[in-house]
């Protein structure tokens, strides 16, 4: 099982999400604890300025940026709309 560390920035952004996305996020976090590369997550390795980080989908439009701290620990960095989060 993967241990999840949350940044203050992630928690602040997650609290501001619409209720529907908050509910979906809680279900997605259960999946990522078991397998960060589960097909429902659409996990992708990022490039450019975000090289070394990964993202996964919460919904079609909402993404989470995270990084592996080690083989059994990840840090959730930020959550946001796909048009805003990678900028």
One pLDDT digit (tens) per residue for the chain, 87 residues: 999 999 999 999 999 999 999 999 999 999 999 999 999 999 999 999 999 999 999 999 999 999 999 999 999 999 999 999 987
pLDDT at 14: 96
Pairing status of strand 73-81 against strand 62-70: antiparallel
Q: Which helix (H) or strand (E) holds 37?
A: none
pLDDT at 87: 76
Sheet with 44-45, edge to edge strand ranges: 3-6, 73-81, 62-70, 54-57, 44-45
Domain boundaries, the chain: 3-85
pLDDT at 3: 96
The answer to whether residues 31 and 43 touch, using CB atoms and an 8 Å cutoff, is: no
pLDDT at 33: 95
Please give the CATH topology (third level) of the domain spanning 3-85. Answer: YaeB-like fold (3.30.2310)
């Amino acid at each position: 099982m993967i241990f999840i560390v949350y940044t203050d920035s992630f928690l602040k952004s997650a609290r501001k999400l619409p209720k529907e996305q908050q509910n979906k996020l809680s279900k997605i976090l259960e999946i990522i604890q078991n397998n960060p590369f589960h097909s429902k997550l659409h996990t992708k390795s990022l490039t450019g300025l975000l090289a070394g980080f990964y993202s996964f989908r919460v919904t079609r439009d909402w993404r989470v940026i995270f990084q592996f701290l080690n083989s059994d620990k990840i840090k959730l960095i930020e959550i946001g709309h796909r048009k805003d989060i990678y900028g």
